[in-house]
Structure formats: C-alpha cells, structure tokens
Structure 1
C-alpha cells in the first residue's frame, strides 16, 4: 500500500486516539520550520533544542488532556506555544533580545576600520539599556508587537497569527507603541544616538 500523507488534523485525531506514530509524523513534518523559528529568536542551538522540546511537551499535554480545539491550524498553534515559551524565557532573564553579545555583533564591531572606543561602547550600552527600560513601560500588548516586529523581524501577518488578533489590530498596537515610545523618549530626555 502506498504511503499516504495525512493532513495535520487527521494525524492529531489519530494521536489523540492512541496512535503514537502520528505525533512522530507531525513533529517530522514541522520540525525544521518550528526549530528554525525558535533559533531565529534565541540564536543558540542548545537553548533552541530546549525550547523545541518544551514546546512539544506542552503540545503532548494539551492533546492528551483533550484541550486542543484548533482544527486545521496545528502549525500556527504550535508556533504560538513556541513563541510564548521564548517570551517566557526572556521575561525570566528580565532582558530584551537585543542583539548584543552575539558572535556576529562582536565580530562586526572589531572588523570595522574604526574600532569602537570604550566611550562609544558605554554610550551604545546606555542607549540599549534606556530603550529596554522604556519598552518595559509600554502596555504589554504594544510592547509584544514592537519586540516581535523590531527585534524578531516578524511580518504583521505572523504577529497577528502568533498573538491571535487581526492584522489591523497588530498594526494599531505597533502604531500606538511607536507614539508612546516617542512620548517616553521626550519625557525622559533620552538621546538615542551614539
């Protein structure tokens, strides 16, 4: 008999009904997309593996408890779980995923003709620190959209899917986040240049 390719919804149903191989098929089908998404946000393979495993532990628990009800939207549901775990990770660290201390960033600094002075490094760190502090003053929904757009480089369509809102709502939140951030920058008299 030919090897049939079942839709996600069928594999989910089969897994819930006791077919363990159905979950393996789902993981195999979506592994590179989910892992790639996680890695693009955390830039660390060990951490990405941990978050990937935690994502599927949550998936298994939800499916086993019959709490899954996203018929036909399995991948976006799993991506939302992964996204939430990434957000939780950064919250625990109490830091924003600013592109500091990554290999690319460090190498880029030292390869340039004008190696950064101690003073310019301090200014850059101060600007990043001020900006992270201001982001934390934004309402949670605005902060989330701004981080996803600016630091994680997600499209508004992806943001809408991951946060469970319409594209217009995501755009509106981004607009208000930028307006509020400008007000906070003016109020705190922060100069965002180095």
Structure 2
C-alpha cells in the first residue's frame, strides 16, 4: 500500500537534500544524482512497505539511494560503452564510397542515431548489430513485425537524410 501524501511530503522535506548530496557523492554527476533522487521518491511512493517495515527510516532511505546510484552508474556506463562501440562499428555500407572524411561521417551517423526516437534506435540496433530478424525483434518488443519493419525503415531514412546533408552527391 502506498504511503500517504503527508508521509511522502515529510520524507521529501526531511531527506531530499541529504539524499541528493549522497547520490552525488556516489555518482559524481549532477544529473545522475537528480535522477536517483527522483527514482527514490517514486519507489517510496509506490511501496509504502519499504519505510513501514524498516527499523530505521533514514537507514533504508540511504540504502535505497546507494543501490539506485550504483544502478544509475552501471546504466550510464553501459550506455556510454554502447555509444562508443557504435561510433566504431558502423556497418561499412553506411560509410560513403568516396574518399571523404570517414570519421566525420561516423560522428554524424552516431549523433543522428542517438537522436532517433528510442523505438527506431532500438530496432536498428537489434537488427544491425545483434542480427535479430524483424520477427524476433517484434516478439522481444511486443510489436507486430510490420511495425518493426516500419520503425527500421523510418530510422534508416533519417540516417540517410543526415548522410545526404554531409555528402549530397550520394543521392
């Protein structure tokens, strides 16, 4: 059962600042620390039993904060590693056939890929790098195969448009 609104307000008033400082000391990143604080209070709002069953309210709050901060660090590291890998593993057919600046092209495509909507980016990643079929991706994401194919096509069109800005002769 979720805690009352008054309990959440009290918990936030009493602990938000110190939780933020602690999250920042773990993550050394302002935005990750803010994310951790938000996740903590969402978790507390969803599950009132966390606080009700704890011997020490403060201890459970800081334990949860530490765990969420470590999760955020791991998630951030995975995302950074994936983006780094993407920047060096773009399929060769993405790169222009001319003698242009391949690194500039890689950077443009990596940036454009990162800016795609998450559903298109996921489908492109799963199809190109994980070599899953559209049917397999559909099962994984809970979407029809045609929807997956459309997301892939729309994502590729956006990547192609970015390439054409760099090298109009590829049209």
Q: Which has the larger radius of gyration?
A: 2
> Which TM-score applies when normalising by structure 1?
0.37
Normalized per residue, the structure richer in helix is: 2
